[in-house]
Each structure stands twice: as structure tokens, then as C-alpha cells.
Amino acid sequence: MKAERHLATTFALALALAAGGAADVAPAAPKLEKLALMDSLDMANWCDVETKEGCVKLVEDCLRPGSTGILWRDKGGGGWMRYPSKEEVAPKTSEYVIEKRRNLPRFGAYWALRLDNLDFEVFPFVYEECRRRNLAYGIHQTYEENHTSNHSQSQWTIEHPQFWNCALDGIPWPGHASLAYPEVMAHKLRFADEHIALKPQKIFIDMWRCGHWSLRWEYVKPNLDRWAALYPGEPPPKDWKDDRWTRLCAESTMAYLREYGRRCKAAGIQLVIGLPEMDLKDDFAWRQYGLDWKLLMAEGTINGIWVMNAKYDPARAMESTREILAYVKSKCVNGGKAYFGVNWYPARGGGIARYAQLSGCTSAEATRRLMEMLSTLGYAGAVFECLDCHCYPKDVCEELRKW
């Protein structure tokens, strides 16, 4: 009996010590979101994405690196929407005959895809598949997908040359129609309504894919008229990075994103802006697009920022990346989330393999260090840029699945 009392006392003491010490132990870091960007056209040579079976195959491929969510691309070259769009009707977009039997072999599957006129709707089908697998789901929206200038314009833009962007010398930029025109603003917001109607949980607007557009191409009549009213007798600046020009053009960019954000909030959808070329100066988005992301965050217009790539110092790639990411996180107020592109895709000098090369380690080790960085900095998660064609190697996928 005495021995039993002693054992009970010892057990109770151990429990008390464990409970008392628990307050000193830091809680485990929350699991990171891992969001796969799925461009179905990029996978066309691997599976038939015009079928339900092909879409399921894409979803399953996204699970290789342990993705917790999938963001499906909204459109491709030529402005073709990958859903039945009333705003951009795909058959009018090109005179090219879309007939697989007539395709030249060198074109592959890409030129023959039609994702807007299937016997099922891709987005609702994929979302249901994601729900079944307990995955988050949403839209990876490209700001534009015209590639460069007039290459693969949308049909709406082709039909409205009076709204085309142009440079100071009058050279047109027919890949874009300027938001400075009310008609273009209304057109873009009708697209926003179509996206919202698809009922995604998240929309990530990718500013990287903007067809090389910048404020250099915003010397359109509405902006020139506003300039003349603000600065009578002074010609518009030859330097398109003049801060006065930036502020003037920013009125359109910010008005569009504010209204988009308002509509997303009303629908209960998270809106995240993806920004390339992020560094500690943090002026690229402002100079290039007239986009003040910190103001949008402070206003509650957007729910997060996705750092698409960090302009790190090659001599201290990991350390300088951490400094940049810490800076961005410090500006994410009002519960705003921060995401970082942990990419295999090497565009703009990024990519896991490049980090590994500069840091003298394996790709799997570079992946671990990047994911650990996000976890300790309090990032919401990682974004897998271009998951196409099984591009993430097996050892990298194994590491990513741990987080």
C-alpha cells in the first residue's frame, strides 16, 4: 500500500512538472501552406487536360511535393479564358483552325487546347476534386498573358485599338488596353466578377506575367489630360519613372485593385498580390506598375503578398533573402499573410537549384533552409511556381512534404 501511494505521488508530481514546464516550451510552428500553381497548358504533352481524368491526374501530380492547395491558371496566351467566359469568347480570338488532326507535330498539344467549351466546366470540377482531397483551391490570375506587346493579344483588345497603351512618342503597345479609360476599367472588373463567380477560396494576382507592361506605356489621352490639368504648360516627363508620373498612373492601378479587393471581400475570397523583384528598396512595384502594396495592405484591400522572387545578394544568397523576407513580413499588417515562391522554375535568377549552387549545398538542403526560413519568419506558406512536367526533383519533393 505504501509503495502504491509512493508511485501515485511520483506520477502526480511528474504530471505537475510537465504542466508547469509546458508554459516554457514554445508551441510548434503552424504548418505552412504549400500552394501549387497549375498551368494546365504546360502539362498538355503529359496528359489530356480536356478530360476529367486528365484534370485528376494534374491534381495528383500537385501532391508530389506535398501541396496543401492548388491555384489553377485563369487564362493563357491569346487571352483565352479557361472557363466559359462571356467577356472573352475564345473562338474569335484567332483565325488559326483549332483541329488536332491538322496540327503540325512540332506544335504539340499546346496549340490545340480548348478548355472553355468542354462537356464539363474545369474550375468547378477541379474545386470539387480539391475539396474531396481536403486541399485549398483558387485561381492563379495573370495580370495579363499577352507575353510581349502584340503577341497573343486578347480579342477584346484587338477590337478596341482606341484604348491601346502607348509610349510618349506615340508608339502603341497593343498587348494592353489602359485602365486609364473607364471602358477598360469596366472590362477588367467584369473579368473580376467572372473569377469571383467561380467561387475560389483564394485569388493570387500575378504581376510578373504582365506582358512586359510598365508605366512607360501609359502615355494615353486620359493620363495626358490629367497631367495637363495638374501641370499647366509643362510637357509630360520623358522619364516615365518620374515620381509625379508614377503617382498619376497609380490612380488607375490602385483604383482597379481596390475595387477588385472590395468585391473579393464581399464574396469572402482572399486576395493576394504577387510581386517580382522584391528587395529592401521595395520600389519595383511602385515604379513599374504604380502599385503601393503596403497601402493596400494597411487599408485591408488585400489579404496577403506573395514574394515571387527575392533580389538577393549572390555572395550571401540565403542571408540576404532572409533579410528581404523579414522586411516584407514586417509590413504585413492587419493580419495580412506573406508567401514566398520556393521555385524550381529558375526565372529571374531564382530557383532552388540556384540557391543550392550559391550556398554550396544540395538542392534538398537548400529547400530545407528556405522552408525553415519561412517557418521561423512567420510566413503563411510557400508557392510552387510552375509545377509543370514534374519539374521538382524527387529529393526536393521529399523535403517539401515534411513541412
Determine the Cα angle at 98 with ends 92 and 102, to 5°. Answer: 150
pLDDT at 21: 41
Start-to-end C-alpha separation, the chain: 49
Interatomic CA distance for residues 397 and 367, integer angstroms: 9
Amino acid 14: pLDDT: 43
Instruction: Quick: pLDDT tens for 159-211.
Output: 899 999 999 999 998 888 999 999 999 999 999 999 999 999 999 999 998 88
Partners of 34 in the beta sheet? 382
111's grid cell:
496549340
Number of CB atoms found within 10 A of residue 348's CB: 15
For the chain, what percent of residues have pLDDT higher than 70?
84
Ordered domains of the chain (ranges, CATH): 30-400 (3.20.20.80)
303-352 pLDDT, tens digit per residue, is 999 999 999 999 999 999 999 999 999 999 999 999 999 999 877 778 99
Tell me how far apart the alpha carbons of residues 244 and 227 are, in angstroms, rounded to a whole number. Answer: 9
Collapsing DSSP to helix, strand or coil, 381 comes out as strand
Distance CA 222, CA 230 (A): 12
Q: Round to whole Å and give the CA distance between 180 and 134.
A: 41
Please list, in sequence order, all residues whose beta carbon lies within 8 angstroms of the beta carbon of residue 56, skipping any fewer than 6 positions away.
129
**Residue 95: pLDDT over 80:** no
